[in-house]
């Protein structure tokens, strides 16, 4: 079994995952195996978008990639479809399926990218197409290493939320790769997209230890002018709720109450800001404006 430490979990996996940080031998929080999974979970199952669930067991199904059987947030069995591309199987496994695992464990995962400053983590959320991955790419080049590009997996330490390292690769649109070239490795296609590719940053652009969460930035495009606005009161909880990764899984994971309580605590202790982005503001300018108040973590690179 391959061993990894990611999302705040010690993982033992039958599938090699070069996107994950290496881990140590010992008891695993999550075991990932290859094998058959049932076609359905029976008449008592709760059904939702591409999943069904009974108690602590959840079945996730795709058409062309793989099916996943999740048990109690401790076990994941993967059954790839015939001719499925291994990188695409891993993409679903470490995204969609891992988000469900975190929910089964009562853990909050925010749908966003996360980068490291010297003593904390900054998270960027927002709808698809707002530029979260491009922003993380440019911030990494400015000396702020990447924690994850898709799921900001949160844990707790001393009463404060931390962002755990996750997948080390970034998913970038082809126009962003061309507009902001780098020496990053790889260019594997992303499932269900002909124009999006994964790129692996160099080792010194990757953060492999958890950091306290400083601020959640919610990106919103189409504003008349640039602004960073604090979100306060009940609106902070509501905005955080909107950023939960795969919220449609909550009825199947049985984690609605746990996630709600975790989000209430997070909203009480963590700054959330709305970042209004005018259409004419480029990604590089946005990265410069947001990072202007942060001390550089490492020497910036091209």
Task: Say which CATH number the domain at 253 has.
Answer: 3.40.50.300
pLDDT at 1: 92
93 Rama sector, left if φ>0, alpha if ψ -120 to 50, beta otherwise: alpha
The H-assigned helical ranges of the chain are 86-92, 98-104, 132-141, 174-179, 234-242, 250-253, 256-269, 283-291
Q: Report, as an integer, the average pLDDT of 234-263.
A: 92
pLDDT at 194: 64
**For 55, phi and psi rounded to 5 degrees?**
60, -125
Q: Is the pLDDT score of 181 beyond 70?
A: no
Residues 123 and 258 in one domain: yes
pTM: 0.91
pLDDT at 301: 46
Q: Is the pLDDT score of 160 beyond 60?
A: yes
Residues 238 and 266 in one domain: yes
Q: Report, as an integer, the average pLDDT of 238-247.
A: 95
Residues 240 and 273 in one domain: yes
Structural domain count, the chain? 2
pLDDT at 302: 41
Torsion over CA of 55, 60, 61 and 65, rounded to 10 degrees? -160
Residues 226 and 153 in one domain: yes
105-149 pLDDT, tens per residue?
999 999 999 999 988 999 999 988 888 989 999 999 888 999 999
State the residue range of the domain holding 225. Answer: 109-291
Q: Is residue 302 part of a domain?
A: no
């Amino acid at each position: 079994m391959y061993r990894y430490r990611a999302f705040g979990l010690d993982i033992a996996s039958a599938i090699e995952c070069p996107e994950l940080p290496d881990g140590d031998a010992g008891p695993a929080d999550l075991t990932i195996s290859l094998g058959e999974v049932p076609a359905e979970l029976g008449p008592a199952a709760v059904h939702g978008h591409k999943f069904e669930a009974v108690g602590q067991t959840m079945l996730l199904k795709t058409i062309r990639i793989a099916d996943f059987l999740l048990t109690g947030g401790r076990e994941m069995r993967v059954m790839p479809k015939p001719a499925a591309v291994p990188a695409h199987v891993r993409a679903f496994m470490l995204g969609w399926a891992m988000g469900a695992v975190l929910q089964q464990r009562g853990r909050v995962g925010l749908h966003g990218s996360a980068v490291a400053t010297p003593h904390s983590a900054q998270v960027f959320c927002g709808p698809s197409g707002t530029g979260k991955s491009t922003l993380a790419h440019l911030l990494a080049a400015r000396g702020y290493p990447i924690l994850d590009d898709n799921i900001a997996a949160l844990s707790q330490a001393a009463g404060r939320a931390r962002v755990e390292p996750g997948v080390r690769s970034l998913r970038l649109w082809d126009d962003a790769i061309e507009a902001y070239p780098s020496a990053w490795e790889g260019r594997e296609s992303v499932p269900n997209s002909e124009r999006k590719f994964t790129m692996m940053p160099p080792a010194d652009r990757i953060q492999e230890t958890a950091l306290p969460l400083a601020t959640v930035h919610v990106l919103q495009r189409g504003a008349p002018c640039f602004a960073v606005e604090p979100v306060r009161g009940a609106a902070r909880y509501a905005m955080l709720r909107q950023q939960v990764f795969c919220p449609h899984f909550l009825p199947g994971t049985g984690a609605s109450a746990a996630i709600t309580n975790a989000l209430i605590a997070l909203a009480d202790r963590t700054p959330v800001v709305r970042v209004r982005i005018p259409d004419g503001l480029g990604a590089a300018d946005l990265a410069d404006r947001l990072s202007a108040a942060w001390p550089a973590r490492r020497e910036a690179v091209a």
